[in-house]
Structure 1
């Protein structure tokens, strides 16, 4: 099979490799399409070990079941993600003609969703499951808050994760506020955002605080760069529960406290922890809590029904769909490095 493999720090190339060995609790998948995440190029650029396969998000068809897998059968269309670029499991990687994936975290793709659309699910949906429903403990989409629901701020609303976060928060009955560049406002409103604010504006936090009458209790930072805005927008009312701030990148508590000492947070969470097994990142080995995977699995079980009913729509795909395969992925990684992708996800058909 062909796969994208690291050859030096910051460099990958398409190589002929063996199919990955199927493990217990996993499925062997014939990959149909792959989606690109910023984590992909960051893994490559921080990587010094050659010979590792890379890539997180994919969609494909189940070819073989590992021991203990009962939720899928050969021929099922599924989508999800794998821990590509992990020195502890060098055969793991979505950017290849075949991959192995942990069955518990994969999603059966409904008939109304294309392979390319399904390749946008992966790490974004696991991050939503972790951030909104574990860290922030929001009501679930199958048991939404009564209207009008409490407000939540999603900072980085035009990222792929933010786009899914807006839709899930709306399905959970919340009043959804988001930040984005003005040219993406209409798209985010169409997805369900009740109000969108320009994160470039020096009055962004104050505008959100005024809009919510100083009652904002939840903020989720999908970029990791919104600490000041989130802290400034969250309520500083001395009465009631402290407002809670979650983020996908570690933030120094002092950054938050200097703006709003009432904030409960920052609460950093990392989607890799839902995979249920040790991984390595930035030279550090991370041990995981099995409960992380159990929680994510329960949330992801809701996804096919939400997609079938149109409650959640796939992130729009952009770039080289159906054109250039794995060679196109290499070009797409440079697009992401350059910050030239917004309000969608680069997807390539293999």
Structure 2
């Protein structure tokens, strides 16, 4: 099969490699579409694998071809699915999905809707999974992130939640899930993306370029803001200024393990790759098996599957690019150079 692979930083290329061998808890799929995330270019820019090749890519949709003997979730051969994979894995190097075929973890894979809303295709579904599990870990997983009440329970009681970076692919999803859980959302973005975040349910929007952004959010929420979730991780001071001065009620969560300016506030960071319940090693760090993260991911992705099928989650706006696998490197360059805003880059791999 053709796949986008790398061995060392800067050497990513499309190559012909053998098909992956089926692992017991995995499924072999024919890839339909893939979507790009910043983690993809960061791995091939800064990472290094001991193996000859590591397949890149996390977000996918596709068709089931084989099912491992230890997959407990019910799937059928020929069924359409979508999900998140551990792309650019430095140990299990065939775990990426920027390829004609991919091996994906069965019990955290989602069934594609059998009766989707008009216009919701396999390319749209590919934009959802990584963002959705990141939202799940960051906002809702018990004992991690903000530990908010689950969507559907209606127990948010219209408390305010700050989602910093509301127009990012993860931010637009976070807004929707928080609203479904009964919270009110204050968010930040550039004014050009105001309509996008409004369409996803944001109640109040502030311009992060405003030097007084954090102070204005604190004033607007009457110094009662308990929760701030940072989908960018590069401007934690705004979240620190926005949160209530009463640190006993505050929590800050981020997608990056950054330094938060307020030592008086409990802050956490989440790592999407722990969702698979497997050990991994990258960037000179050992990441142990976190069984609780895997169990949460199975529960969460089942909920996401239902919400998508019910039409309650809108995908981030996509920008469908040409070139298939061969075009992905151009897209990752655009991401790295910050030429993409308010859109998710998507590539069709097969028709």
Q: Is the 8 A contact 2:3 2:55 kept in 1?
A: yes
**Superposition deviation, residue 274 in structure 1:** 1.1
Q: Is the 8 A contact 1:4 1:13 kept in 2?
A: yes
Aligned to 1:324: 323
**Superposition deviation, residue 146 in structure 1:** 5.8
Asked if 1:62 corresponds to 2:61, the answer is: no
Aligned to 2:22: 22
Q: Is the 8 A contact 2:156 2:181 kept in 1?
A: no
Q: Provide the aligned length of Structure 1 versus Structure 2.
A: 339
Q: Is the 8 A contact 2:166 2:188 kept in 1?
A: yes
Identify unmatched segments of 5+ residues in structure 2: none
**Superposition deviation, residue 251 in structure 1:** 1.7
State the secondary structure of the residue aligned to 2:54. Answer: coil
**Superposition deviation, residue 180 in structure 1:** 0.6
**TM-score w.r.t. length of structure 1:** 0.93
State the secondary structure of the residue aligned to 1:123. Answer: helix
Aligned to 2:289: 288
Asked if 1:143 corresponds to 2:146, the answer is: no
- Structural mapping, 1:191-340, within 5 Å: 191-237=200-246, 241-253=248-260, 255-257=261-263, 261=264, 263-265=265-267, 267-320=268-321, 323-340=322-339
**Superposition deviation, residue 344 in structure 1:** 1.8
**Superposition deviation, residue 54 in structure 1:** 0.8
C-alpha separation in 2, matches of 1:141 and 1:184: 25
- Structural mapping, 1:91-170, within 5 Å: 91-110=94-113, 111-112=115-116, 113-134=120-141, 135-145=145-155, 147=157, 149-170=158-179
**TM-score w.r.t. length of structure 2:** 0.93
**Superposition deviation, residue 46 in structure 1:** 1.4
**Superposition deviation, residue 331 in structure 1:** 0.8
Q: Is the 8 A contact 1:274 1:288 kept in 2?
A: no
Query: RMSD over aligned Cα, in angstroms?
Result: 1.4
**Superposition deviation, residue 7 in structure 1:** 4.9
Identify unmatched segments of 5+ residues in structure 1: none
Q: Is the 8 A contact 1:56 1:83 kept in 2?
A: yes
CA gap 1:252/1:146 in 2 versus in 1, 3 angstroms: closer
CA gap 1:146/1:55 in 2 versus in 1, 3 angstroms: closer
